[in-house]
Structure 1
Amino acid sequence: MYTPAPFRQDDLTVQHDFIRRSRLAVIVVSDGDTLDANHVPVLLDAEDGPYGTLVGHLARANPQARPRTEAIRALAVFSGPDAYVSPGWYPSKQATGKAVPTWNYVAVHAHGRLELIEDAAAKRAIVARLSELHEAGRPTPWRIEDAPPDFIDAQLAAIVGFRLRIERLEGKWKLSQNRPPEDRAGVTAALADGGAAERAVAELMAGTD
């Protein structure tokens, strides 16, 4: 990921927190001459390895889940709020006219190797953990034990678990850090008056001042 120095976010704690809040990853693998990408809910085991390990599952029919003799290189992409930035929001534009549109956003890329998991107990644990995470706070949270055992067994047979041991993490917080303080303030104020995505970017910008 192209990341100029002002936008780099190398704090592992910040990267991990972003992954936990994002939850949905785009898993990309190279398969010969083609790229295969899938949107997959994942869990982060932060203490497993120097950068953590991502865990999830795929449909068995998914090409990414086909058996391989060794782990395959993969990239997990996590995207956060993003927003268009108008040059009209820069006070400096009024003085010089030297401004063009851009886009503000945050993202984390996790590089590693995708290892498939066939063990039924391990797959059940992954499904149970994902359910507990996303059902938390509901009046009557669904649990894997709520479904008939034979039904769950059939569902588990139709999926393949995976772990992606992270070997490298890249964080990019592109939030107008390359602009003068007055321009950043102008962008933050304009975004704060926008929709939900724009307000979320404004909050991130305010947190990096």
Structure 2
Amino acid sequence: MSFVPRTLGEIAALIRDHPLAWVASRDLDATLLPLIVECDAYGTPVALVGHYPRRNPQVAAFTRDPHALILFTGSQGYVSPTLVSNPTWGATWNYAAVRIVATLTFVPDETEDALRRLAARLEPAGGWRPEQMGERFDQLSPHVVAFRAQILSCEPQFKLGQDESAATFAEIVSNHPDPGLAAAMLRNRPIDDD
């Protein structure tokens, strides 16, 4: 069974809905950062935009070697045998994740725009805006630097019950306490369900 999303749009949706990712450099250092996904006309992720504190050691590491490993985790959770009526069914863990290999380039001229885009993406409609910081925004923004990570490869793994029988799948979705995981399972159920 291949655990891939049903559509390419699911990859971008995972990144938009769960933007916090581990960004790892080749020296095995890693930082958790919220990222914005940029897609092509077909909805395929092509780049990720974020920012680092300038004092983070990864700024120097990526300046020397731009290769990055970026890991996103979406909806996930334990699936207990108590959710299904089959007494021989075993416990499992369902999840959606994306592993990205990218070339990370710092783009200092885009830092303010990246900060504004991130706030616009994460804040609810009519929510906080960086302009509300006044002079403090201008004082703090020089201490961070934006980057764009061009995606070289993208490996999604969406283990969301695709290998379950229709009856077991329905029981898991109906009984699971995490509605987000149940919704992800439903969106990724193969169309040729048994």
Q: Normalising by structure 2, what TM-score?
A: 0.84
Tell me how far apart the structure 2 counterparts of residues 78 and 142 of structure 1 sit (CA, whole Å): 25
Aligned AA (1:180):
S
Tell me how far apart the structure 2 counterparts of residues 16 and 68 of structure 1 sit (CA, whole Å): 24
1:47 matched to 2:40: yes
Aligned AA (1:17):
A
Aligned AA (1:188):
V
Partner residue in 1 for 2:145: 160
Deviation at 1:162, TM superposition (A): 0.9
Please say which structure displays the higher CA radius of gyration. Answer: 1
1:178 matched to 2:174: no
1:145 matched to 2:131: yes
Q: Is the 8 A contact 2:6 2:187 kept in 1?
A: no
Deviation at 1:59, TM superposition (A): 0.6
**How many matched pairs?**
188
Tell me how far apart the structure 2 counterparts of residues 189 and 144 of structure 1 sit (CA, whole Å): 42
Partner residue in 2 for 1:132: 120
Cα 1:10–1:29 shift into 2, 3 Å? farther
Q: Deviations over 1:45-84 (max 9, x none)?
A: 2139x74110110111111112655552112222112121
Aligned AA (1:177):
Q
1:57 matched to 2:57: no
Tell me how far apart the structure 1 counterparts of residues 128 and 81 of structure 2 sit (CA, whole Å): 48
Tell me how far apart the structure 2 counterparts of residues 172 and 68 of structure 1 sit (CA, whole Å): 26
Cα 1:54–1:10 shift into 2, 3 Å? farther
1:84 matched to 2:78: yes
Partner residue in 2 for 1:187: 172
Partner residue in 2 for 1:28: 24
Deviation at 1:167, TM superposition (A): 1.1
Cα 1:89–1:162 shift into 2, 3 Å? same
Aligned AA (1:181):
A
Q: Is the 8 A contact 1:117 1:162 kept in 2?
A: yes
Q: Gaps (5+ residues) in structure 1?
A: none
Selected match of 1:208 from 185, 188, 191 = 188
Structure 1 residue runs of 4 or more that deviate by more than 6 Å after TM superposition? none
Cα 1:70–1:88 shift into 2, 3 Å? same
Q: Deviations over 1:151-176 (max 9, x none)?
A: 33331221121111011112222112
Q: Is the 8 A contact 2:104 2:147 kept in 1?
A: yes
Deviation at 1:134, TM superposition (A): 2.5
Q: Is the 8 A contact 1:116 1:161 kept in 2?
A: yes
Tell me how far apart the structure 2 counterparts of residues 204 and 134 of structure 1 sit (CA, whole Å): 20
Partner residue in 2 for 1:169: 154
Q: Is the 8 A contact 2:38 2:45 kept in 1?
A: no
Say which is worse superposed, 21-30 or 57-66, in terms of deviation.
21-30
Cα 1:58–1:176 shift into 2, 3 Å? same
Percent identity over paired residues? 29
Q: Is the 8 A contact 1:22 1:79 kept in 2?
A: yes
Cα 1:89–1:71 shift into 2, 3 Å? same
